[in-house]
Amino acid sequence: MMRKSLYATALAAALACATAHAQQLRIASNFPTQHTSSVAMEQFKAEVEAATGKALGVDLFPAMQLGGAQENVDQVRSGAIFGTVIGAAFLSRTVPEISALSVPFLFTERKQAFRVVDGKGDREFLVDVSGAFTTARPGLLRTDTLWKTLGRAHVLKSLDEYARLLIVTSNLPRPGSDGERALHAVGPGNVWDAVEMFDAGGVGRLAAYARGHVEQLPGFWTEQELAARRDEQLARYYGADDE
């Protein structure tokens, strides 16, 4: 998926070039030259240059030639290089949602992981990885973090009422707390599920969604809450028919 995105971006950049001189893309990596990621970079270079008639060239810098992974991320952000090929963990500070793919035992096999990442749009989830991984008030134990998460959920649902939002965090609000009541108040119509990363039941639900399970599973939401949600959907459906 990343390779396809880079390829499309490179072609778009080539088409935008108004000059006849060749343009160069600089791509760095911390993987050794024999690594499969470095081989993929070579293939990317060959395909881009062939597709653009070398109007767009690609300079590759594997094996930490331009520094380590975090330095490469900073170089991309500053515009010093076009892109970098690194492990997902180094991007999680910039794009926390990427951490969702690192949840332990989320996938049972390699093929399943690729199938989910490259899956069809009708199975897509919006994943909000919420809160810090710290020893002091981690995850959604912080009130301000919880309210920000609920605010994002409201905005997402206002833009797409069919969006399926998964909240993934290290710590959900404590049972019986104001935070837990606030999170439950939004209802399963606004948040598909809320999962603690280190809870076996929560990880099991994530794995089921990754395998293509299309219904909400009880865990964070109770059976009664999910039943009320289904009744609401049926009422809306038949109400629309009556109109």
145 vs 95 pLDDT, higher one: 145
The residue among 66, 87, 108 that closes a domain is 87
Assign 211 a pLDDT band (cuts: 50, 70, 90).
Answer: confident
Nearest Cα to 26, choosing from 51, 6, 47, 12?
Answer: 6
Indicate if 204 and 105 belong to the same structural domain.
Answer: yes
Q: Say what the pLDDT of residue 64 is.
A: 95
Query: From the centroid of its chain, how far is CA 169?
Result: 13
* Spatial distance between the Cα atoms of 200 and 203, rounded to a whole number of angstroms: 5
- Residue 75: give the domain boundaries: 17-87
The residue among 56, 87, 118 that closes a domain is 87
Indicate if 102 and 161 belong to the same structural domain.
Answer: yes
Indicate if 63 and 150 belong to the same structural domain.
Answer: no
At 10-53, the pLDDT tens digits run 444 444 443 445 689 999 999 999 999 999 999 999 999 998 88
Indicate if 142 and 28 belong to the same structural domain.
Answer: no
Indicate if 74 and 178 belong to the same structural domain.
Answer: no
Domain contains 107: yes
At 152-203, the pLDDT tens digits run 998 888 888 888 899 999 999 999 999 999 999 999 999 999 999 889 999 9
H/E/C letters for each residue in 87-133?
Answer: CHHHHCCCCHHHHHHHCCCCCCCHHHHHHHHCCCHHHCCEEEEECCC
